[in-house]
Structure 1
Amino acid sequence: MKLITTLIILVFSAQGLLAQNNTQVSGKIAGENNSPLSSATVVLLKAKDSSLIKSAVTNSSGIFKMISLKPGSYFISATSVGYEKNSSPIFTITDGQDFNSPTVTLTRISKALSGVTIQAKKPMIEVRADKTVFNVENSINATGSNAFELLQKSPGVTTDKDDNISMQGKNGVKIYIDGKPSQMSGADLAAYLRSVNSADIESIEMITNPSAKYDASGNAGIINIRLKKNKNYGANGNFATGVTFGHTPKYNNSLSLNYRNKKINIFSNYSNNYGHYRNIFNLYRVQNDSTYDQHSINLNNNKSNNVKAGIDYSINTKNIIGVMVTANFNNSTSNTNSNTVISPNSTGTPNRILYASNDLPGDRNNVDYNINYHFADTSGRTLDVDADLVNFRRRGSSYQPNYYRDPFTNALLDEKIYSNNTPTNIDIYTAKIDYEQPFYKGKLGFGGKLTDVKTKNTFDFYNVNGGIPVKDMGRSNKFNYDENVKALYVNYNRSLSKKTTIQAGVRMENTKSEGDLISNVSQPDNTVKRNYTDFFPSGAITYKLNEKNTFNLNYSRRIDRPGYQDLNPFEDKLDELTYRKGNAFLNPQYTNSFQLSHTFLYKYVTSISYSHIKDYFAQIIDTVQNKSFITQKNLAQQNIFSLNFSAPVTITKWWSSFATLNAYHSAYLANFGIGKKINVNVDALSIYTQQSFSIKKGPTFELSGFYNTPSVWGGTFKSSAIGSVDVGVQQKLFKGTGTIKVSFTDVLNTLHWKGISDYGGSHLEASGHFESQQLKINFSYRFGNNLVKAARQRKAAAEDENKRLNSSGGIGQ
């Protein structure tokens, strides 16, 4: 209850301010000869202390408008590239009386500027009609975290006990890195995300209904993790170091070195994460005539190193070519120790205890080589070409001793010792082209993509007798999987009027795949071939009712293909009684999604949506004899109705707030035979809130938290409520070039998960928690040139400012 009470107070502190005054200020920004200046930046400042109240940009007629203002004394300040800044006289507005400011005239700069320092701080959370953006670099509590931990705290995003990622109640989220889809899934994806330091991340974008330009995969939408890239001219860099105190200390460091001039942009980043991580897992299982009560502790010694380096060369003002290498090297040693008390249901008295351990040393190395070309001219035509080669290598082994002992005398009753060797090679080749140009008063885009994936998995299983491993040919195998996807798309958007904008597109994808299981034991799924073509339409219409209200309706059809490891049918033992098994017959899942959203005052967003998922992926815990195993199966369908409300609020000049609420109803339906029917309905609610408190020339404080009501994982597991609260403080040092951040996560120690399942003739209760309560201390220091040249940075600077204006009440899209 203490967590719920805390979060309710936080949420309602961000609300109640929607009913604001209707007073507005408008005016014109002009250049020489009273000619209108479009895209000029206009800010409304308080006369008393020059504090920022509102921002806007001028339209093609040089007109700006700001709404919902409180009575008081203000003045206007206007800027535009190539012009001197100028301000209006101080004026006073009264409640309910609109004010038309005198024209503010800007004078051209007589000499070219050698440099312009641009410092535009983005809000931590930006809510737009098509996506939500979490600006990681502006969050205190994000410091010292990895990418997976940041996703757990992102608005509308949840993770389950097996590290599967969901968004707004839907699984099948596709993870993108810098706009490129990651081909990893499951444990490999989770391991990679945990290796990415928050110091390397600029923002996380959550896109619920992507357009036809994006790959059709990802039924819940796309989460795009944008890594930092140099935008400043000259030589510059950034160094960061941090320590995390949890069950054991953990360390993270990062260094970026960059150089940029009018022709060349050279960028490089290195980061690492070192530390031991602890996870607790409990599984209580009633199956057939026995009860199994398992308790396990996993300790993972993780060492990850990330490298990103590249160069962009400007051939001329229209053409840029670049090369980039992104690499992740992850070395980990995982050790799990468990004990399982086994009792006959007839007596309830334990008759044996299984003591098991599992040592898994391994390496995961992922390297992406990219070459890219960008063309843009003044008429609005753009062309982007990308070619990538991705090499993923995983080397793993396992040593699994299992000892059955008498619960009273500790006498050894039986022992079974196994080991395995599991190398995996994945090579991915992609080529992509995107073209856009003005067409019939709008913008037409089209392009294509070719992806070729080759996967090779080896599973060598050994029985260890007398300390000597003997290969079990009946359990050993090789699994090769090849997949080829060809895609073409067309997308068009235009404004039908000053109030109405439309976007429509369709993507065609042909998928050809073949999975071959090479084994001494013949199975019905030794070879599985598929060849299918699908069309994925998408569309949106935006209607601006007035200056305060905008409506958006969109639709998309999407696909989720099975992960490469989920198709591999060999059995991967976790211990003597538990194993994981792939499903070569797993079908893709398809989703049709509809969403209607309403934006009020450019920042308060309410949306309702419906999604129907066919052949929904469900991670099922099934049973065979006295053993349980995890596998993926297709449910018949899933239906989701959801309601989302997001509200960024500036309460005072020193207190800003953000809150989002997501409520959804989900229904799962499947029939796998007697005792294996699924008909589950769930109503769930998730709340996320973030409060920031700034002291002038002093520290900034942050309080954030989330709460998820009981829900369902994978169609069968009914989960308990879960949530946490984090606190943090930040202080600028060395005239703003240095920053120290301190945060304490999961203050109330409530981030413990639990789930119950009754499926396949067995009753399961699973629970556990990871090392969530941590003290994190991080320091960063910027050095070198931080000036941005006006001539080359003009467009990028405008883009950053527009993002800021869209969330601060200015006139944006």
Structure 2
Amino acid sequence: MMPKLLLSVLFTIYSVCNLYAQLSSINGHISNAAGKSPGGTTILLYRFTDSLLIKTAIADDKGDYEINQVSAGKYFIRCSFSGYTKISTSFFSVGENEIVTVPALVLLIENKRLQDVTVTDNYKKNIIKVTAGKTVFNVENSINATGSTAFELLQKSPGVLTDKDDNISLRGKNGVRVYIDGRAVPMDAAELAGYLKSIPSSDIESIEMISNPSAKYDASGNAGIINIKLKKNNTIGFNGSASAGLNVGINPKTNASLGLNYRNSKVNIFGSYNNNWSNNDNTFNLYRLQNDTIYDQKNLQNITGWSHNIKAGADFFASKKSTLGIIFTGNFSNNTVFSQSRTPSISAKTGITDRILYATNTIPGVTENVNFNVNYRYADTTGHEINIDVDHGFYNSRKSSYQPNQYYTPVPETLLYEKNYRNNTPINITINTQKIDYAMPYKKGQLSAGVKFSFVKTNNVFNLYNVINNQDYIDLNQSNTFFYNENVLAGYINYTTPLNKKLNLSAGVRVENTSSKSLLIRADGMRQTDEQTNRNYTDLFPSAGLSFISNEKNSFSFNYSRRIDRPNYNDLNPFESRVDELTSIKGNAFLKSQYSNSFQLTHTYKSRFTTTIGYSQVKDFSTFIIDTTEKTRVFITKKNLASQNIASINFSLPFKITKWWDAYTSVDLYNSKYNANFGNAKIVNINVTTFGLYARQTFKMGNGFSGEISGYYTSPSVSAGTFKTRFYLNMDIGIQKKLIHDKASVKFSYTDLFHTLQWNAESNYGGTHILAHSHWESQQFRMNFTYRFGSNKIKEDRGHATGNEDEKKRTSSNGLLDAN
């Protein structure tokens, strides 16, 4: 009943507003040098200010084409046809209710032998492209992406930082939302990192970093959105690609992928599979001064196992206007984490070691992340479009842990006593979403609106066992079941229009109602004050943008958005789980959502060089705090700070030094302030200014060879709330050779050339002084081979993304340490 009502409302809006649509049209003619017109030439209309693709058309047999329902503004046209070089027009202006005729275009034959001609994209994308509010890293054109994973590419993307626990921040701001083809994944920081590490670069088209999303997007994510776009196949007939790679660091690692696609005028059937075998060693050291005692922990960790990713689906073209699609995606992993640590307890006054804790932890884990999507799209030639998505997904995790803790005397080391534990932590999460989006031309611009419903159910069990004489005895005081249900109802409206020939406006508002219930059931039957919470609140999230074209060389844009970050589902679990005898993790049932207001001003010079100034203020900023308990122990929990304030400036500088040498440089400068007072000397007052430099050089060396050098530097910054980090420094080199008439390529790269990519940090909070250090297998030699086969005849891709864009991200804690 509800979807029918919504469709009726949307069609009514369309019928009324269509009376006022007064848009322009563009027409033109294309031919070859002989004056003949090859029918079927692809015509692409781009907006001049940011090179955004606006509309497409196909020239008829006479070479004539027409593009209707175009808003006033500045544009250019690019044309392509098999065997000819691509050609573009100069920019031209379109007024209100105007018919514009573009000068005739002439296609030139490519400088190739006829038998060597295949349909490929000769207009190569820049590796890094910056527009107002968005930075795009075109992975498929980067050599140093060779053998990399999605997570490693994020680490090398402009403005992106990760800490030792794989939490991700963007230009100094935490709370960034990571999506795969517009969908978030239901994992905590460690599991999300594992998933991203299972996606090879050969499957990735680009990484989009969107700092100020419009009202169309979910309001979640105060730092914006990072969207990883996987490659889509848009060729007619049967085709595919296969790749295999080997990475060698301390241990060998492998990856492989296979993608198949068949497309004709009625249907597009596609499927892909990739796997990743990981064997990674990590080191983590924690020096802690607490209550006149020093705890000097040295920890070694190994993560070994397989990850498998599957995607399959079909698009059925019912007509030129209607498409029905189904998509299945699945991620399955089976990994074992093994860690061992040595922690001496030392008197800070005398320097005498009191005792030594030896702890090991073995955590086998299996996860399943599956989503089914049914979608429908209707789009006519007048600019009216409807997209409907229905998603059903689930996330299941099965982890257990065996954790011996043995206490020894100092030299000669003699066993004093031991405490051994085992736990079992099954997690089940179900996510259902329905979404409808509608867009239409209205007066001079475009009006879009939509609604979304999401329903999430979680069931998180934590059972702790004391192991005595190799027998497991459940600890009822330390075992629990946590239930959390959440419903979010959202709607938005957004309007984009030119105010005059130089000024464009985009404005919208999103409303979201959140209703949630949580329940903690202790195994011992005891009650606690935070065992049950109920919440219901409604928020408005406005967004707006202005773009101004001063002249052909200079353009400006201003963006504003208000956003929210709801707590991850597991962060709300108020029970305490142990990492080892001295460290535990505790949720916070009263953790509040954090709200941010972000402003951004961008100047673009010659459509290439950009300068961006930004400011954001976050209310009730939530972050992890390492607090003390029972004099000797610490626990990690999430708390709301009073505020987070970040001011930033960014310069994006692409250069073409010679015909064979391209360079790109990005410079970031941002100031971060964190303030909170929890009483009892537990004060957070951090003010850090951070400088970041990202650089990439690419070289065309002839005979199918190309090379690349890339790297970044980040000065001291803030991580995990109370930690001040030291600098980051990294450099990669790579070379590529194309083979078999460009159908295959082999790539070699060497990462972290100088072995400087390490994490070092310091924290002073609540009377505890902490020094932390972590490093991993960042220095690797990588090899990758890719072969593409089948048809190369290109047809315009539908480019559909499914509907659950936020819910699956928030299923678990982004903890500093894994409690399992």
Give the TM-score category using the shorter length.
0.7 to 0.9
Q: CA deviation at 1:39?
A: 5.5
Aligned pair 1:245/2:243, yes or no?
Answer: no
Q: CA deviation at 1:636?
A: 0.5
CA distance in 2, matches of 1:116, 1:709: 45
CA distance in 1, matches of 2:310, 2:291: 51
Aligned to 2:803: none
1:229–1:267: 8 Å Cα contact kept in structure 2? no
| More displaced 10-residue stretch of structure 1: 669-678 or 185-194 | 185-194
Q: Deviations over 1:654-710 (max 9, x none)?
A: 111111111101111101111101111110011111110011223110000011100
Aligned to 1:674: 680
Q: CA deviation at 1:173?
A: 0.4
SS of the aligned residue for 2:202 comes to: helix
Over 3 Å counting, the alpha-carbon distance change for 1:474 and 1:128 in structure 2 is same
Q: CA deviation at 1:31?
A: 5.4
Structure 2 unpaired stretches of 5+: 1-26, 48-64, 89-101, 110-116, 800-820
2:586–2:637: 8 Å Cα contact kept in structure 1? yes
What TM-score results when the alignment is normalised by the length of structure 2?
Answer: 0.84
1:41–1:79: 8 Å Cα contact kept in structure 2? no
- Partner residue of 1:613 out of 608, 613, 618: 618
CA distance in 1, matches of 2:746, 2:158: 25
1:83–1:106: 8 Å Cα contact kept in structure 2? no
Q: CA deviation at 1:115?
A: 9.5
CA distance in 1, matches of 2:302, 2:769: 27
- Partner residue of 1:717 out of 723, 734, 742: 723
SS of the aligned residue for 1:695 comes to: strand
2:312–2:328: 8 Å Cα contact kept in structure 1? yes
Aligned pair 1:156/2:159, yes or no?
Answer: yes
Aligned to 2:551: 546
Aligned pair 1:232/2:238, yes or no?
Answer: no
SS of the aligned residue for 1:628 comes to: strand
Q: Deviations over 1:13-50 (max 9, x none)?
A: xxxxxxxxxxxxxxx97559999x985899xxxxxxxx
Q: Deviations over 1:103-145 (max 9, x none)?
A: 6554999xxxx99554442221111112011111111111211
Q: CA deviation at 1:345?
A: 2.1
Q: Deviations over 1:521-540 (max 9, x none)?
A: 32221001111000000000
1:29–1:106: 8 Å Cα contact kept in structure 2? no
Aligned to 1:504: 507
Q: Deviations over 1:266-314 (max 9, x none)?
A: 1111000002111100000010131100000000112100000110010
Over 3 Å counting, the alpha-carbon distance change for 1:356 and 1:377 in structure 2 is same
Aligned to 1:255: 258
Q: What amino acid is aligned across from residue 546 of structure 1 in structure 2?
A: N
CA distance in 1, matches of 2:469, 2:716: 48
Q: How does 1:72-221 map to 2 (within 5 A)?
A: 79=79, 106=106, 118-221=121-224
1:86–1:105: 8 Å Cα contact kept in structure 2? no
CA distance in 2, matches of 1:219, 1:176: 14
Aligned pair 1:705/2:715, yes or no?
Answer: no
- Partner residue of 2:560 out of 547, 555, 561: 555
What TM-score results when the alignment is normalised by the length of structure 1?
Answer: 0.85
CA distance in 2, matches of 1:476, 1:87: 67
Q: What amino acid is aligned across from residue 758 of structure 2 in structure 1?
A: H
| More displaced 10-residue stretch of structure 1: 582-591 or 213-222 | 582-591
- Partner residue of 1:745 out of 742, 751, 771: 751
Q: What amino acid is aligned across from residue 539 of structure 1 in structure 2?
A: A
Task: Give aligned-pair identity as a percent.
Answer: 50
CA distance in 2, matches of 1:507, 1:78: 35
Aligned to 2:766: 760
| More displaced 10-residue stretch of structure 1: 624-633 or 744-753 | 624-633
Aligned to 2:637: 631
SS of the aligned residue for 1:252 comes to: strand
Aligned to 2:393: 390
Q: What amino acid is aligned across from residue 563 of structure 1 in structure 2?
A: N
Q: How does 1:459-608 map to 2 (within 5 A)?
A: 459-519=462-522, 520=524, 521-608=526-613
Over 3 Å counting, the alpha-carbon distance change for 1:346 and 1:654 in structure 2 is same
SS of the aligned residue for 2:673 comes to: strand
Over 3 Å counting, the alpha-carbon distance change for 1:687 and 1:261 in structure 2 is same
Aligned to 2:781: 775
Q: Deviations over 1:55-100 (max 9, x none)?
A: xx99999xx9999xxxxxxxxx984679988999xxxxxxxxxxxx
Over 3 Å counting, the alpha-carbon distance change for 1:541 and 1:414 in structure 2 is same
CA distance in 2, matches of 1:488, 1:652: 50
Q: CA deviation at 1:378?
A: 0.6
CA distance in 2, matches of 1:422, 1:363: 11
- Partner residue of 2:403 out of 400, 405, 411: 400
Aligned to 1:277: 280
Q: Deviations over 1:701-736 (max 9, x none)?
A: 000001110011133111101110000001001110
Q: What amino acid is aligned across from residue 293 of structure 1 in structure 2?
A: D
Aligned length: 724
Aligned to 2:112: none
Aligned pair 1:320/2:323, yes or no?
Answer: yes
Q: What amino acid is aligned across from residue 734 of structure 1 in structure 2?
A: I
Aligned pair 1:331/2:334, yes or no?
Answer: yes
2:82–2:119: 8 Å Cα contact kept in structure 1? no
Q: CA deviation at 1:497?
A: 1.7
| More displaced 10-residue stretch of structure 1: 193-202 or 267-276 | 193-202
Q: CA deviation at 1:352?
A: 1.1
Q: What amino acid is aligned across from residue 602 of structure 1 in structure 2?
A: S
Q: What amino acid is aligned across from residue 436 of structure 2 in structure 1?
A: I
2:80–2:87: 8 Å Cα contact kept in structure 1? no
CA distance in 1, matches of 2:485, 2:772: 36
Q: What amino acid is aligned across from residue 226 of structure 1 in structure 2?
A: K
Q: Deviations over 1:717-770 (max 9, x none)?
A: 111011100000010011101100001000000011111111011111010101
Over 3 Å counting, the alpha-carbon distance change for 1:83 and 1:145 in structure 2 is closer
CA distance in 2, matches of 1:628, 1:642: 34
Aligned to 1:73: none
Over 3 Å counting, the alpha-carbon distance change for 1:106 and 1:656 in structure 2 is closer
2:642–2:675: 8 Å Cα contact kept in structure 1? yes
Q: What amino acid is aligned across from residue 311 of structure 2 in structure 1?
A: K
2:43–2:79: 8 Å Cα contact kept in structure 1? no
Q: CA deviation at 1:181?
A: 3.2
SS of the aligned residue for 2:753 comes to: coil
Aligned pair 1:734/2:740, yes or no?
Answer: yes
Structure 1 unpaired stretches of 5+: 1-27, 43-56, 68-76, 89-101, 797-813
CA distance in 2, matches of 1:87, 1:667: 49
CA distance in 2, matches of 1:426, 1:692: 45
2:86–2:123: 8 Å Cα contact kept in structure 1? no
CA distance in 2, matches of 1:259, 1:353: 62
Aligned to 1:689: 695
CA distance in 2, matches of 1:701, 1:353: 51
Q: What amino acid is aligned across from residue 787 of structure 1 in structure 2?
A: K
SS of the aligned residue for 1:179 comes to: coil
